[in-house]
């Protein structure tokens, strides 16, 4: 099996970018070790603190964020980092070329039940135009130079793209390296699986309610076939499933909290996952706009997400086509 760096070399990825990616993976190995130690590591449970999102932080949220941040900034190859757990960006080497945004532990509510969690990351280059602070990160998804996630499940896996398709790597604990296990990830165009948080159904817009209702209606409904629902409460795990066997994953906007109608963050969740999905032949949208084309306005900006098998996403978008967008600014 091929190791990560020779594969990236074949794709003509720069040595400095390879070093940034390798640093992320070094941090991921440590996170993986602590997760697999479970209660033995003494890092399970919640703190009394909330992050910028207003979410109660798990102990491992803080540990994971600190590991990734410190390791990246120590390389001197990173100009700044942005994290779900940080109010603002954290500056690094002012002369460096790369920016890294990340969700250090996606799905952390699953930690204490030994469920799947993951790390999501995106890497951007410092823009050519003058920019400082948060403005450095306000780039579209099409400007990403690399993106991916590490899934901490029964095995620890890296799924990544540098713009030349999507590959999957599995951490071999005997050698301490990620080895290539899937050369060319391709999402099937049609599916009979969907992932959504049904607890929010009564708060959705009419197009999404109608779409999901028609899926649930099965063979007797307008779609004429049975659909199965799968939901892991961790974006990494839900997107990994559709990359492996197709499906549609959506976290739509809803009307529960007018100040925060959307759940997922554009910069370090929706953008990198959309990059992966599109590189694997799928589609990704807010319901009205291609996620990769969105111009971010804030590092913690939220968006609605619909992504997965191309034909099924297209069908979902048809439900939204003739209904004005209920503009939720997250």
Average pLDDT, the chain: 92
Do 165 and 185 meet the contact criterion of CB atoms below 8 Å apart?
Answer: yes
pLDDT for the residue numbered 322: 78
The verdict on whether residue 105 carries a ligand-binding annotation is yes
The verdict on whether residue 109 carries a ligand-binding annotation is yes
The verdict on whether residue 83 carries a ligand-binding annotation is no
Beta bridge partners of 170: 157, 179
299 sits in the region (left: phi over 0; alpha: psi -120 to 50; else beta) called alpha
The verdict on whether residue 103 carries a ligand-binding annotation is yes
pLDDT for the residue numbered 78: 98
> Could you give the CA distance from residue 61 to residue 84 in angstroms, rounded to a whole number?
9
| Overall average pLDDT of the 28-55 stretch | 71
Question: Strand, helix or coil at 30?
Answer: helix
Model pLDDT for residues 72-123, shown as the tens digit of each residue: 999 999 999 999 999 999 999 999 999 999 999 999 888 888 889 999 999 9
The verdict on whether residue 107 carries a ligand-binding annotation is yes
The verdict on whether residue 106 carries a ligand-binding annotation is yes
Tally of CB atoms within 10 A around 113 = 7
Model pLDDT for residues 288-310, shown as the tens digit of each residue: 999 999 999 999 999 999 999 99
Q: 185-220 b/e with 16+ CB inside 10 Å = b?
A: bebbbebbbbbbeeebeeebbebbeebbebbeeeee
Tally of CB atoms within 10 A around 322 = 7
The verdict on whether residue 108 carries a ligand-binding annotation is yes
Lowest-pLDDT choice from 45-59, 193-207, 263-277: 45-59
> What are the structural domains, with CATH classification, of the chain?
4-182 (3.30.540.10), 193-321 (3.40.190.80)
54 sits in the region (left: phi over 0; alpha: psi -120 to 50; else beta) called left
């Amino acid at each position: 099996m091929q190791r990560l760096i020779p594969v990236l070399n074949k794709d003509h990825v720069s040595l400095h970018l390879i070093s940034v990616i390798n640093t992320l993976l070094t941090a991921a190995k440590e996170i993986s070790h602590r997760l697999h130690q479970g209660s033995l590591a003494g890092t399970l449970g919640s703190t009394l603190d909330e992050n910028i999102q207003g979410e109660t932080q798990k102990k491992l949220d803080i540990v994971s964020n600190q590991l990734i941040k410190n390791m990246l900034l120590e390389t001197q190859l990173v100009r700044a980092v942005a994290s779900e757990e940080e109010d603002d960006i954290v500056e690094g080497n002012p002369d460096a070329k790369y920016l890294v945004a990340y969700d250090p532990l996606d799905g952390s509510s699953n930690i204490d039940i030994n469920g799947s969690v993951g790390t999501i990351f995106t890497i951007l280059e410092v823009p050519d135009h003058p920019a400082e602070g948060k403005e450095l990160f306000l780039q579209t998804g099409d400007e990403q130079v690399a993106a991916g996630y590490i899934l901490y499940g029964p095995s620890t896996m890296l799924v990544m793209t540098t713009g030349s398709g999507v590959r999957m790597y599995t951490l071999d604990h005997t050698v301490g390296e990620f080895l290539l296990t899937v050369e060319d990830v391709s999402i099937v165009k049609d599916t009979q699986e969907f992932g959504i948080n049904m607890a929010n159904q009564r708060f959705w817009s009419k197009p999404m309610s109608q779409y999901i209702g028609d899926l649930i209606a099965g063979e007797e409904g307008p779609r004429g076939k049975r659909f199965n629902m799968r939901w892991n409460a961790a974006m990494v795990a839900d997107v990994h499933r559709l990359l492996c066997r197709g499906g549609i994953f959506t976290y739509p906007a809803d009307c529960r909290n007018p100040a925060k109608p959307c759940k997922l963050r554009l910069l370090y969740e929706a953008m990198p996952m959309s990059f992966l999905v599109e590189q694997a032949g799928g589609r990704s949208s807010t319901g009205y706009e291609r996620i990769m084309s969105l111009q971010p306005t804030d590092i913690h900006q939220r968006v609605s997400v619909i992504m997965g098998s191309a034909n099924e996403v297209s069908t979902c978008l048809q439900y939204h086509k003739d209904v004005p967008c209920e503009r939720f600014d997250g």
